[in-house]
Amino acid sequence: MTFMKSLYGATAALALTAGVAAAEPAIIFDLGGKFDKSFNEAAFNGATKWATETGGTFKELEMQSEAQREQALRRLAESGANPVVMTGFAFGDVLNTVAPDFPDTKFAIIDMVVDQPNVKSVVFNEHEGSYLVGMMAGLASKTGTVGFIGGMDIPLIRKFGCGYAQGVVAANPAAKVILNMTGTTPAAWNDPVKGAELATAQQSQGADVIYAAAGGTGIGVLQTAADLGILSIGVDSNQNYMHPGKVLTSMLKRVDNAVYEAFKEGVDLKPGINVMGLANDGVGYAMDENNASLVTPEMQAKVDEAAAKIKSGELVVHDYMSDNTCPAATF
């Protein structure tokens, strides 16, 4: 009996020290999955970058269903992981209830503001990045009509579309922007067939550049645009390589930087709201050898000029989520 007791004690002590010594950071990926070639994959790349640079290890968890959210979060927090980073607005409500239960654990949430003393909220100025790719679309379009295909119809995606429309109109005031959403349920993130049909429908209306902000659905949009011989614009990660010479550019959302920073700060993670915009390289557009032939130096110069104005505050891109209206488009 005493032996057993000491054994338990030893194990517990060991577990405790292990927990303290490790204090591994952890990351939870949202339903799109770790390798969505987009948002979650960017987060994974940031975590991997931290791991290779520091030689550390991190815990990770991929969500399989909506119902797992709270459980997954609690389990990681209980396991001693610190900080716990989660990707996606959908964690907002859950984190609001879980965070107070683990006052000694630091949390970071991307794409959502959660007002708790131990939570760092990272939000992106997607409208600024979308504005730049919108300008590029407006400059590249020969028909004067460009398209936008969003995933699930939520304010965040409208923010993408609204910034894009503003950029298009800034580059070509006469341009027409066709806006479509794939659906109203989470299935809208994973329906490449519908994305493809939407792209075909937009092409038939004259669109020759289509911006897809739709997760896995966007893969279908990019594919169809390449099949139809029109240009597309990727989102979140650099998707230019998917169809070289056919993807005009990609709106970069540096989720990788956000995750990397959070992991680097570790247990000293600073709570509060962190806005990642053009000014601090949180968003941008992608240039590489795959789209070099599509973007002329003049186009790039104009876009860079606008980027400089946004950074300096001279040009303000309207944020859809600030008042749920858009000056350049109606949803």
User: What's the min distance (Å) between Cβ of 239 and another protein?
Assistant: 12
Q: Binding to another protein by residue 269, rule CB under 8 A?
A: no
DSSP letter, residue 186 = G
Nearer to another protein, 17 or 205 (CB): 205
Nearest to 303 by CA among 323, 286, 320, 326: 286
Nearer to another protein, 114 or 146 (CB): 146
Q: Binding to another protein by residue 197, rule CB under 8 A?
A: yes
Nearest to 181 by CA among 194, 166, 164, 165: 194
Contact at 8 Å (CB) between 286 and 234?
A: yes
Q: Binding to another protein by residue 201, rule CB under 8 A?
A: yes
Name the one residue in this structure whose structure tokens are 């970058």.
Answer: 49
Site for another protein in 7-36 (CB under 8 A): 33-36
Give the integer Cα–Cα distance in Å for 263 and 102: 18
Residue of 125, 141, 190, 290 that binds another protein (CB under 8 A) = 190
User: What's the min distance (Å) between Cβ of 279 and another protein?
Assistant: 32
Secondary element (H or E) of residue 329: none
The contact pattern for another protein, residues 75-104, with x = CB under 8 A and - = no contact, is ------------------------------
User: What's the min distance (Å) between Cβ of 266 and another protein?
Assistant: 27
Site for another protein in 210-229 (CB under 8 A): 216, 219-220, 223, 227
Describe the strand order of the beta sheet including 231-236 as a list of residue ranges.
176-183, 145-152, 209-213, 231-236, 247-253, 283-285
Q: Binding to another protein by residue 167, rule CB under 8 A?
A: no
Contact at 8 Å (CB) between 20 and 231?
A: no
Q: How far apart are the first and last CA of the chain?
A: 70
Give the integer Cα–Cα distance in Å for 112 and 95: 10
Nearer to another protein, 28 or 242 (CB): 242
Q: Binding to another protein by residue 128, rule CB under 8 A?
A: no
Nearer to another protein, 89 or 241 (CB): 241
Return residues touching another protein (CB under 8 A). Answer: 33-37, 41, 178, 180-181, 183-184, 187, 190-194, 196-198, 200-201, 204-205, 216, 219-220, 223, 227, 242
